[in-house]
Amino acid sequence: MIECELCGRRGATTKAKVEGSVINVCGDCVGFGREIPVVKIKPKKPSPKLDGMEDEIVEDLKEIVKAERFNLKLTQKEMAEEIGERTSVIKRIESGWKPPLKVLKKLERLFSLKLMEEASNTGVKKKKGKKELTIGDIIEVS
């Protein structure tokens, strides 16, 4: 139990600012100073990811992988060894296959590149699409 620093009573549950210093006070003494609200941090619940909220793999992954592999002067086999995967994994990625996250993470590390688009970003991107005018709209305007 914390003692109230003003009256000495046990059970000081509040912090208050009194004459410039923050002290522990009981409920009765709070009035002498300015109460400091205790900010309670709620533990974050692991919320199930909603559809479309998941991080997405960049569209041109296979092009990036090919280009980066070329930059590093690695063969598919050598690159597979670098990330501890089979050569077939690299072949599949370069033909457009979206690898599991763990493989992707290894590629990100190898290339020092981001290969995932964060959910928030993709959400914005999707909204960017310009609505094209249909013939009906044009007739209405003119």
Nearer to Zn ion, 10 or 44 (CB): 10
Q: Which helix (H) or strand (E) holds 112?
A: none
Contact track, Zn ion, 16-45, x by CB under 5 A: ----------x--x----------------
| Dihedral sign (CA 66, 121, 123, 55) | positive
Q: Is 7 in the site for Zn ion (CB under 5 A)?
A: yes
Q: Is 6 in the site for Zn ion (CB under 5 A)?
A: yes
Of the ranges 6-14, 43-51, 92-100, 114-122, which one interacts with Zn ion (CB under 5 A)?
6-14
If we measure between CA atoms, which residue out of 67, 61, 56 comes closest to residue 95? 61
36, amino acid identity: I
How far apart are alpha carbons 117 and 17 in whole angstroms? 46
How far apart are alpha carbons 116 and 65 in whole angstroms? 13
Nearer to Zn ion, 23 or 89 (CB): 23
Q: Is 90 in the site for Zn ion (CB under 5 A)?
A: no
Nearer to Zn ion, 5 or 85 (CB): 5
Q: Is 107 in the site for Zn ion (CB under 5 A)?
A: no
Nearer to Zn ion, 6 or 107 (CB): 6
Find the distance separating the first CA and the last CA of the chain, reported in whole Å.
Answer: 79
How many helices (H) and strands (E) would you count in the chain? 6, 5
* Least Å from the CB of residue 26 to Zn ion: 4
Give contact residues for Zn ion (rule: CB under 5 A).
4, 6-7, 26, 29
